[in-house]
Structure 1
Amino acid sequence: MSVSDGTDWPTSALDAAATAFAALTCEPAPLVLDCAAFGLDTGLPQQEVPLPALREWLLRHPRAYAARDEVWRELIRRARLDGPHWVVAAVGMAMPALRQYAGRLCEGYNGDPADVDAEILTGFLTALRDRADLTKPAPYASLCKAAWRAGRDLRLRQQEYVPVEDIEHVTSGPRTPKVPYGHPDLLVRRAVTLGILDPEDEQAYIDVRLGRRAIEPIAAAAGVSVDALRMRLSRIDGRIAEALTDGLLTGGASPETVAQLRLQAGQRGRRRAGRAAARREAAAQVPVTAAA
């Protein structure tokens, strides 16, 4: 099967995703997952399994929670790191649930059902790309919840407007905000200026903590493991929380405090540079050891 075989492309987002999944997983070279990597205790077949067969296995074993979690963690990782075909694969694996949600939400709906399909798919993809946390249980459930909520929100927006209390009595006019004006990005920028947050960590911190982006692609781009980046961000959380408690991010800081913070930042930078040099040296020695 090919997505370019001359047939009309579906107008529904879910139908289009299902068509793409079918093309991606058809013979003679269907996309597969090596379920042997998940271990015997999951109950999964200990071999490479084509994704349609794996989807059927999961549907036949609704209480195989450990297996479902392992499979979906791997699908989410691959969708984030290994290209668009794994995004299509993840959507196709979830298609039975997504179609069920669409059917329920379209009951009594006066608009175009294709709009509901599109919202459900958008909610799912947003969670797949950034929102689902692989350190928590039931990642598939979080994807499905995001998809359902997106479709439900569309239905709610179609309802009549709710009148609100007249707000003309509210006092108008400018008010002077406190530095740094309460915006999280400005707090982070001030933390960098003071040396609480290292400049090379600023964008990663904004993306993960403020933007709620998935950590896996960010760690890969930085050349560090997910666990290492997670620990680094956790330490930054502690320093920022301490700075907020001390009023350093919402008020002034003495020259002595600034000097101390920058001294600590320099020490962190030297430790990080030392660890990076050690990793490079260890990597350079591997071929020599193997050759010996």
Structure 2
Amino acid sequence: MSASDPTNWPTSALDAAATAFAGLTCEPAPLALDCAAFFSDAGLPLPVMPLPAMRDWLLRHPRAYTARDEVWRELIRRARLDGPHWVIAAAGMAMPALQQYAAHLCEGYTGDPADIDAEILTGFLTALRDRADLTKPAPYASLCKAAWRAGRDLRLQQREYLPVQDIEHLVSGSRTPPVPYGHPDLLVRRAVTLGILDPEDEQPYIDVRLGRRAIEPIAARIGVSVDALRMRLSRIDSRVAEALTDGLLTGVASPQTMARLRQQAEQRGGRRAGRAAAARREAARQHASAAA
């Protein structure tokens, strides 16, 4: 089958991803990773490896844990930051495992096997985009687990519905929800209002902590390093936890407390502005040195 022939494109999501991967990695210019540039001590046999060769090598060396972790951290970073072709590359690199999961989950399945394929690939891509944490070991295992669970959940939907107790005895009508009322976004908004969380950090905090989005694209979007954003969010976690313990996010803050929080916010803003100015001066100095 030709990857460029739309009339013969596979109907299975996994087969389609495998076909797209084959198109990206065929001769004369297969997609490759420069191993020496990113993980020189991982034990891979060549400094630059086409992805199919790297996949085959990893399959032949199942105990090469360091190499596998470094390869997949780089694949995940590129899938998040460098465009759709690296998303296809990551799916293709995982295809042997994904196809194995599909074959197992389709045994005895009375629905369309293509649905299982689609759920497995969706689970994998969701974890690839947002869920896999690059600071933890075995990122590939977390992607595979997400793919397996997505397919398994579809299989479980075939089971009969379980009866539940009669709910007609419950009191009807509206009831006051418990404090803090509503969505966690409201707590974050109140934290911004009080000066516990800086306005420019509100959306990154919601995206990473509440939305569980991947941190790498968000750091790139706001122009800071991943480590810097991770430390910033950790400090916000501490301030929010302290505010929750003190009841500031679910109660009424005194004028003295409001003034103290505003002063702390102003101090943070001053420090951040100072670091930004220093970074601009250093960039200008390096540019002048390069021009000379």
Coarse TM-score class (shorter-chain normalised): over 0.9
Task: Give the corresponding residue for 1:289.
Answer: 289
Alpha-carbon distance, 1:221 to partner:
0.2
1:33 aligns with 2:59: no
Amino acid at match of 2:118: A
* Structure 2 unmatched runs, 5+: none
Amino acid at match of 1:232: R
Task: Give the corresponding residue for 2:158.
Answer: 158
RMSD: 1.3
**Residues 231-290 of structure 1, C-alpha deviations (whole Å, 9 max, x = no match):** 000000000000000000011001111111011101111110111011011101112223
1:221 aligns with 2:221: yes
Alpha-carbon distance, 1:7 to partner:
4.8
SS state at 2:49 partner: strand
* Structure 1 unmatched runs, 5+: none
Alpha-carbon distance, 1:35 to partner:
1.5
Task: Give the corresponding residue for 1:104.
Answer: 104
Q: For residues 63 and 54 of structure 2, what CA distance do their matches in structure 1 show?
A: 15
Alpha-carbon distance, 1:2 to partner:
5.6
Amino acid at match of 2:279: R
1:12 aligns with 2:42: no
Q: For residues 229 and 19 of structure 2, what CA distance do their matches in structure 1 show?
A: 37
Amino acid at match of 1:56: D
User: What percentage of aligned pairs have identical amino acids?
Assistant: 83
Q: For residues 6 and 178 of structure 1, what CA distance do their matches in structure 2 show?
A: 54
Q: For residues 166 and 178 of structure 2, what CA distance do their matches in structure 1 show?
A: 28
SS state at 1:42 partner: coil
Task: Give the corresponding residue for 1:50.
Answer: 50
Task: Give the corresponding residue for 1:204.
Answer: 204
SS state at 2:127 partner: helix
Say if 1:281 and 1:38 are closer, same or farther in 2 by CA, change over 3 A: closer
Task: Give the corresponding residue for 1:268.
Answer: 268
Q: For residues 120 and 201 of structure 2, what CA distance do their matches in structure 1 show?
A: 34
Conservation of the 8 A alpha-carbon contact between 2:2 and 2:8: no
Q: For residues 175 and 7 of structure 1, what CA distance do their matches in structure 2 show?
A: 57
Task: Give the corresponding residue for 1:175.
Answer: 175
**Residues 71-127 of structure 1, C-alpha deviations (whole Å, 9 max, x = no match):** 000000000000000000000000000000000000000000000000000000000
SS state at 1:67 partner: helix
SS state at 1:49 partner: strand
What TM-score does the superposition give when structure 2 sets the normalisation length? 0.97
Say if 1:6 and 1:215 are closer, same or farther in 2 by CA, change over 3 A: closer
Q: For residues 177 and 112 of structure 1, what CA distance do their matches in structure 2 show?
A: 42
Task: Give the corresponding residue for 1:128.
Answer: 128
Say if 1:47 and 1:87 are closer, same or farther in 2 by CA, change over 3 A: same
Conservation of the 8 A alpha-carbon contact between 1:130 and 1:214: yes
Q: For residues 288 and 123 of structure 2, what CA distance do their matches in structure 1 show?
A: 50
Task: Give the corresponding residue for 2:145.
Answer: 145
SS state at 1:111 partner: coil
Amino acid at match of 2:259: A
Q: Name the stretch that deviates more: 44-53 or 14-23.
A: 44-53
Amino acid at match of 1:214: A
Q: For residues 75 and 39 of structure 1, what CA distance do their matches in structure 2 show?
A: 12
Alpha-carbon distance, 1:55 to partner:
0.3
Q: For residues 79 and 270 of structure 2, what CA distance do their matches in structure 1 show?
A: 35
Q: Name the stretch that deviates more: 89-98 or 1-10.
A: 1-10
Q: For residues 256 and 6 of structure 1, what CA distance do their matches in structure 2 show?
A: 67
Conservation of the 8 A alpha-carbon contact between 2:180 and 2:250: yes
1:232 aligns with 2:251: no
Conservation of the 8 A alpha-carbon contact between 1:14 and 1:118: yes
Alpha-carbon distance, 1:174 to partner:
1.7
**How many residues matched?**
292
SS state at 1:97 partner: helix
Conservation of the 8 A alpha-carbon contact between 1:178 and 1:250: no
Task: Give the corresponding residue for 2:79.
Answer: 79
Alpha-carbon distance, 1:42 to partner:
2.0
What TM-score does the superposition give when structure 1 sets the normalisation length? 0.97
Task: Give the corresponding residue for 2:88.
Answer: 88
Alpha-carbon distance, 1:159 to partner:
1.3
